[in-house]
Chains A and B, each alone.
Chain A
Amino acid sequence: MDTQLKRGLLDVCVLAAIRGEDSYGYKIIKDMKPYLELSESTLYTILKRLETAEMLTVRTAEHDGRLRKYYHITEAGLRRIEEFKTEWKEVVSIYQFVIKGDPHE
C-alpha cells in the first residue's frame, strides 16, 4: 500500500483505539490485532506523531507497582476521526469510478 495512505490510516486506527477510553501501548496493539498487525516500533512512532500533533495526551500512572503510560484522545483527535470518515466517503466514490467498466472486476 502507498506509504502516505497507510500512515494516515494507522493514525486514525490508533485514535479510534483510544476513543472509547484511555488505553496503553500493549492494549492498543491487542485491540487492533484482528484488523491489522502493528509492531511496537511502529506504534511508538504513531503515538509520538499524534502527541506532537496534539491529537492525544499522555499521562503516566502507577499500575501493579510499576509505571504505565496511558493515552487520552483530545478534541483535535476526535475531529481527525470525523474528517477521516468524510474523506473515506470520497475514497469510496473514487474506487467506484475506478472499478466501473474494469474488465477484471
Chain B
Amino acid sequence: MNKKDFLTELKNALTGLPQDDVEERLSFYGEMIDDRVEEGKSEEEAVAEIGSVDDVAAQIVADIPLTRLVKEKITPKRSLRAWEIVLIAVGFPLWFPLLAAAGVVALALYLVVWVLIVALWAVEVSLWAGALGGIVLAVICAAQGQSLPLMALLGAGLFCAGLSVFLFCGCKEASKGILHLTGKAAARLKSRFLRKECVK
C-alpha cells in the first residue's frame, strides 16, 4: 500500500471522530512515512512499518476521551434536510417517550445500586439502635427491680449488638463489591462504544 492509499483508508476509518484530531493525525502519519522514504525506503516499506490501518485507527480511537467522541457524535455534521426535520417533528410522540423511558431506566438502575447500599447500612444502624435501646431499657428495669423484663431486654439488646458486629463486615464488603461492579460496568460500556466506532 502506498502513502496515499494508507492515508485515505485511515481517514475513512476515522470518520465520525473530531475533524481537527483527524487532520492532525493524518499529517503526523504522513510525515512519518515521508521521513522513512527520505531514508531510502520505498513508500510500501514505510507504510508497512507504521502498521495496519485497523491497528492504528483502533489505537487512535482509544486515545480520544469518551466525552469528545460523544460530543462529536451528537453535533450534526451538516444542516438537516427538510424531510428529516418533518420526520423528527412527526415522530416526536414516538421517540420522545422512548428516549425519556431509556433515561429513566438508566436513572432507576443507578438509584437501585445506591438504595441497595443505603438499605444495607440502614439494617446495620437499626441493629445498633436496637442494641442500645435494649441495654438502656434493661438498666431502667434493673433500677426498678423488675427482673423478668430486665433479662428479656438485656438478651434482645446483646443479640442485636452481636448481629450488628457480624453484619458490619458483610455490609462493608457488599458496598465495596457493588461500587466495584458499577465501575466495571461503566468501563465495559465505554469499551463497547469504542469498539463500535472502530468497526465503522
Determine if B5 is an interface residue (Cβ-Cβ < 8 Å): no
Cβ-defined contact, A25 with B51, below 8 A: no
Over the window 52-88 of chain A, the binary record of Cβ atoms lying under 8 Å from chain B Cβ atoms (1 yes, 0 no) is: 0000000000001011110000000000000000000
Contacts of A41 in B (CB 8 A): 56, 59-60, 63
If the complex has contacts A39-B51, A41-B56, are A26 and B31 also in contact, measured as CB distance less than 8 A? yes
Interface residues on chain B, size class: 10 to 19
CB distance from A52 to the nearest CB of B (A): 12
Q: Is the CB of B32 within 8 A of A26?
A: yes
- Please tell me which one of the listed residues A26, A42, A44, A45 contacts residue B35 in the complex, with CB atoms under 8 A apart: A26
Flag whether B28 is at the interface (Cβ < 8 A).
Answer: yes
Is B63 a contact of A45 with CB atoms below 8 Å?
yes
Chain A window 24-45, contacts with chain B (Cβ cutoff 8 Å), 1 for yes, 0 for no: 1111000000000001111011
Q: Is the CB of B28 within 8 A of A25?
A: yes
Q: Which residue of A lies closest to B29 (CB)?
A: A40
Give A1 to B4 CA distance when docked, in angstroms: 36
In the complex, what's the smallest C-beta–C-beta distance from A105 to chain B, in angstroms?
35
CB-based contact B35/A25 at 8 Å? yes
Of chain A, the residue at the smallest CB distance from B27 is A67
> Chain B residue with minimal CB distance to A45?
B63
Give the CA-CA distance A101 to B197 in the complex, in Å.
51
Min CB distance A20 to B, Å, is: 19
Write out the residue numbers on chain B whose beta carbons fall within 8 Å of the beta carbon of A45.
63
